[in-house]
């Protein structure tokens, strides 16, 4: 009798094996209005969405549809008028000032205009989020390693003016990762970059997600970027349109 061959051994499953670092995020009935009653603008209107830990989600929609507002609310840079927001164990809608500051240290932000400090070197920009804190061990080797990981080894001493737009955005990504974030919020991170450079930046963000299991939200107008995410949330006039899989 011929013995059955052993069942194929499963290949490496790097994501499943790793302790997930990313937070699940929920928004439930979230409304944000700006301005006075009468002339009020409803930037987000009863938004309910659920995002899995380590999911990469694109936020799309016309200008003014509420993409940035949504990211600001998830990042506790703004508060909803009504509704609840959670990220991991944090009740984001309900944090006092101190708790909000602590939560924001667990969030990485990447912006369209990079928002680097022009007087500081690339290395010091990456270290900047740690400045208010006394950190041990010395965080500098980690910042150097992050700059290396985003392809900027040897450019630690360069200032933003000495770097291209794509390189500046790489510094911003390294800076976003210095605190081991549970979520990275990227608001049109390729908006100031040419198509090829922008595609490289998205590769870097998705790579970072794959390596660290960080939940990733990217607001974008670019459907090719959205197609590279796990899922797209479409906004129109502050409301979520029906979800579609794979972009």
Task: Find the DSSP H helices in 150-194.
Answer: 165-177
Q: Tell me if 66 sits within 8 A of 31, measured CB to CB.
A: no
Which of 9, 13, 36, 63 touches ligand ATP by CB under 6 A? 63
Q: Contact region for ligand ATP (CB under 6 A) — 61-69, 87-95, 124-132, 208-216?
A: 61-69
Is residue 68 near Mg ion by the rule CB under 5 A?
A: yes
Is residue 237 near ligand ATP by the rule CB under 6 A?
A: no
Is residue 43 near ligand ATP by the rule CB under 6 A?
A: yes
Q: Tell me the C-alpha distance between 158 and 16, whole Å.
A: 38
Which of 68, 167, 190, 215 touches ligand ATP by CB under 6 A? 68
Q: Tell me the C-alpha distance between 190 and 67, whole Å.
A: 15
* Total Cβ atoms within 10 A of residue 203: 11
Q: Tell me if 152 sits within 8 A of 204, measured CB to CB.
A: no
Specify the residue for token string 């608001």: 187
* Total Cβ atoms within 10 A of residue 78: 16
Which of 21, 27, 56, 67 touches ligand ATP by CB under 6 A? 67
| Least distance in angstroms from the C-beta of 153 to Mg ion | 32
Q: Contact region for ligand ATP (CB under 6 A) — 21-29, 60-68, 145-153, 165-173?
A: 60-68
Q: Contact region for ligand ATP (CB under 6 A) — 62-70, 113-121, 192-200, 208-216?
A: 62-70
Which of 64, 139, 165, 247 touches ligand ATP by CB under 6 A? 64
Residue 181 binds which one of ligand ATP, Mg ion, none, with CB within 5 to 8 A depending on kind? none
Is residue 190 near Mg ion by the rule CB under 5 A?
A: no
Is residue 215 near ligand ATP by the rule CB under 6 A?
A: no
Strands 231-236 and 239-240, by their bridges, are antiparallel
Q: Tell me the C-alpha distance between 34 and 42, whole Å.
A: 6
* Total Cβ atoms within 10 A of residue 3: 5
Binding positions for ligand ATP, rule: CB under 6 A = 34-35, 41, 43, 61, 63-69
């Amino acid at each position: 009798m011929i013995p059955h061959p052993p069942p194929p051994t499963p290949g490496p499953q790097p994501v499943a094996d790793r302790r997930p670092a990313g937070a699940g995020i929920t928004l439930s009935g979230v409304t944000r209005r700006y301005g006075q009653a009468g002339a009020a603008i409803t930037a987000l209107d009863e938004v309910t969405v659920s995002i899995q830990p380590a999911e990469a989600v694109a936020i799309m929609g016309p200008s003014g549809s509420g993409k940035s507002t949504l990211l600001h609310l998830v990042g506790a840079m703004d508060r909803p008028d009504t509704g609840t927001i959670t990220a991991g164990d944090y009740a984001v809608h309900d944090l006092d000032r101190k708790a909000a500051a602590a939560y924001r240290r667990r969030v990485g932000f990447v912006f369209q205009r990079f928002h680097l400090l022009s007087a500081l070197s690339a290395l010091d920009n990456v270290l900047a989020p740690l400045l208010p804190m006394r950190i041990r061990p010395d965080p500098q080797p980690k910042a150097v390693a992050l700059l290396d990981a985003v392809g900027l080894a040897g450019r630690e001493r360069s200032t933003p003016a000495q770097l291209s737009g794509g390189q500046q955005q790489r510094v911003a990504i390294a800076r976003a990762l210095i605190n081991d974030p549970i979520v990275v919020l990227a608001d049109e991170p390729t908006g100031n970059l040419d198509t090829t450079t922008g595609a490289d930046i998205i590769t870097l963000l998705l790579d970072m997600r794959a390596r660290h299991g960080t939940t990733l939200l990217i607001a974008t107008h670019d459907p090719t970027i959205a197609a590279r995410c796990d899922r797209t949330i479409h906004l129109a006039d502050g409301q979520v349109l029906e979800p579609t899989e794979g972009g």
